[in-house]
Amino acid sequence: MSTITDQQSVQALDDVVEFDIAGMTCSACATRIERKLGRLEGVTASVNFATERATVIGLGGDTAVGIAAVERAGYKAGLHTPGDDEWSRRATSDRIDSLRRRLTVSALLSVPLCDLTILLALVPAWRFPGWQLLCVLLAVPIVTWAAWPFHRATWRNLRSGSLSMDTLVSLGAAVSFVWALVVLVGGPSAAGYWIGFGPTPPGADAIYLDVAAGMVTFQLGGRYFETRSRRRAGDVLHAISGLAARTVLLRTPDGDVEVPAGSVRPGDVVIVRPGSAIPIDGIVDAGRSSVDTSTMTGETAPVEIEPGSSVAAGTVNGAGALTIVAERVGQHTRLAQLAAIADEAQRRKAGVTKLVDRISRVFIPVVIVLAVLVTAAWLLSGAPVGAAIGIGIAVLIIACPCALGLATPTALMVGVGRGGQLGILVKGQDALEASGRIDTVVLDKTGTVTTGAFTVADVRPIDGRTRDELLGLAGALEQASEHAIGRAVSGAAAAALGRPEAVEDFAALSGLGATGLVGGRRVLAGNRRLLLEQGIAVPPELDAVVEELEFAGRTLVLVAVDGVAAGVLGLADDVKPTAREAIAQLKAMGLRTVLLTGDTARAAAAVGASLGFDETIAEVLPADKAEVVARLQREGRRVAMVGDGINDAAALASADLGMAIVTGTDVAMKSADVILVRDDLRAVPDAVALARRMLGTIRGNLIWAFGYNIAAIPLAASGLLNPLIAAAAMALSSVLVVTNSLRLRTFTPHQAD
């Protein structure tokens, strides 16, 4: 089978195209299309049965070749337009309509057919000339037109040298019907089966007609409800895309004009009426309102908006009109990027999905061989021909692994979709699997556990310097820094002292601090390690102040001027309001929590202890964060890393599961497996709880699917299972699996499983 590997999935997406596929009936169809596309030179493909979509790499822009390959396999294909699900929805709707018509006709004809056979089997005196022919006439439309989707798929499979679950249904219906005709024209006399259990009364051997008719009706019913359920699951998954506004009220010199959303450019002024969806990411220029962000973040409380506030596309304006200056539009909005990531998630198959695909591919031919062997064994044991064939048909039907093929993808699809509704965006189904297996959660401190909005709370000069002098020198140096701490220091200095002096020869020292010339003096600002590496002594007077501020949980910036320690700045970084509750929830779920920071051990310990972390790892340079994750993994732990910055990217990528806060950098979000859309640390335990619920659903589905086949096949092979009951049980098992998966839609946040 040709599939997209992880390495290929991260290559440039210019050569990646997606096709909507119509006509797939089981996971074996997806495998067949993958193989067909994979035979094209230089092409790899992954087909997702649940979403009815194929992702193809290597076509070189020649999409017609890919569509032709899919059509040669016997299916319909169309180029998928991101954000536009109209083609696939129409194809699914057409399929549901077709199944509904066939199911209706099959059911309407099966009822009188079964009534006739039961009544005439029980009351021989009521039999009339030609009653058997009437039964045949009632059965013909069922086993031909109504069952045509199964026969068509079987013929398509045989032409390509493969088998599918449809083969088992088609073969079972055909064998039942043909055997009934053989008996009718004077073939071997043997007892058949009727709608109940046990042999049919003598003289009603054509009862096998209602086995064929009943089996087709049950299979059509199961396929109909399964397809409807899968469409509902897909609606959950694509909910994010549906949040985008289609039109925008644009302010122009000639007045306000309604234009397509795609025509807006950065810098344009957009008017958002009360109750309307916000179409772009931007800054409020005028107006006050409350904005409902629940569609994107899962938070039910509205956010109060005023001039200067940032707003995001996909959120809904409340009672006030807003004038917004566009910053990011179209495919560059946060909503569009999140929708693209949710869409891309379907390209990555979970490991358990691949395993089930392999099992299904082998299982179907094994079932056919088993049915033949069971029939032969009963014939050799002296059983009547009709009874032996009936037992073989029961084995053929009951073993059909439809439920097995649906067990994993439907649960994963609904789980990913529900996560998107709750502000937990999963990049791939394999990431959701990993979420359920982790036992250790590592959280970066600055910007993740804390707000990342530093304020200068303490200015402690030494060596006779004044407070203003120390703050002014540090602020002048840090005005060239892009680090959050540097910006806080320069901002505090500018607010207190006015425009700072110019800085020359500035150099940022990763994980240490910065250095530069301010007014001809060499100024260093950073941590204790920076001063020690530069050979600058920390006098006892300063050491005592440092210890005091560290115990208070301050982040420290030590300052030296011309090689002499000048003092220390203590910065406060407020802990996020939900941090303590989130850590408590993670611990209640049996997870070990680790705080990771570049702060000193004493400062980190103060924050870690106040929040209830199990372990605090301090004084970690940005480049060493990935090594900390690797060390925990070497100790046998399955690690989730939660971060937001560029310096977290390597750790996010190397962890078993990377989670990025959406307010963080683009690099961090690209490195992560899960993006937490709402800036609320409780989303971390929510993501783990959702993953555990999803994995529990998958396990339940697989246990049922495997257990059902393991228990039912011996029953059928031993002659204890009526073929008609086998058909009903097999159809109901598929519906049960999909319905069980849909229960994930009711998952509620802030609860530990």
Q: Judge contact between 9 and 348, C-beta under 8 A.
A: yes
Residues 6+ apart with CB under 8 A from 652: 641, 643, 658, 659, 660, 668, 671, 672, 673
DSSP letter for 131, please.
Answer: H
Please give the Cα distance from 317 to 336 (Å, whole number). 18
Please give the Cα distance from 348 to 426 (Å, whole number). 11
Q: Judge contact between 501 and 519, C-beta under 8 A.
A: yes
DSSP letter for 510, please.
Answer: T
Beta strand pairing call for 674-676 and 322-328? unpaired
Shortest CA distance to 64 belongs to which of 19, 109, 98, 104? 19
The values of phi and psi at residue 509, to 5°, are -110, 105
The amino acid at 248: V
Q: Judge contact between 459 and 473, C-beta under 8 A.
A: no
The amino acid at 623: A
Helix axes 385-398, 723-742, angle to 10 degrees: 10
Please give the Cα distance from 547 to 59 (Å, whole number). 63
CB-count burial class (<10 Å; 0-12, 13-18, 19+) for 147: buried
Q: Judge contact between 637 and 441, C-beta under 8 A.
A: no
Assigned token pair, 120 = 């005439």
Shortest CA distance to 427 belongs to which of 348, 507, 534? 348
Q: Judge contact between 511 and 622, C-beta under 8 A.
A: yes
Alpha-helical (H) ranges within 422-482 are 429-435, 467-478
How large is the greatest C-alpha to C-alpha distance in the chain, in angstroms? 121
SS3 content of the chain, % helix, strand, coil (to 5): 55, 20, 30
Q: Judge contact between 635 and 583, C-beta under 8 A.
A: no
The amino acid at 118: I
Q: What sign does the dihedral 51-53-57-60 (CA atoms) show?
A: negative
Buried b (16+ CB within 10 A) or exposed e, 609-636: eebebeebbbbbebebbbebbeebeeee
Please give the Cα distance from 435 to 439 (Å, whole number). 9
Alpha-helical (H) ranges within 349-401 are 351-380, 385-398
Query: What order do you get walking across the sheet with 269-272 strand by strand?
Result: 255-260, 247-252, 269-272, 322-328, 281-286, 310-311
Residues 6+ apart with CB under 8 A from 322: 271, 272, 278, 284, 286, 287, 289, 305, 311
Distance (Å) of CA 61 to CA 13, 57, 58, 164, 442: 11, 10, 8, 31, 42
Beta strand pairing call for 657-661 and 639-643? parallel
- Number of DSSP helices (H) and strands (E) in the chain, helices first: 25, 26
Alpha-helical (H) ranges within 238-333 are 294-297
Query: What order do you get walking across the sheet with 303-305 strand by strand?
Result: 303-305, 289-292, 316-317
Catalytic residue, chosen from 85, 166, 444, 648, is 444
Q: Does the active-site annotation cover 444?
A: yes
Please give the Cα distance from 179 to 145 (Å, whole number). 19
Q: Which residues are catalytic?
A: 444
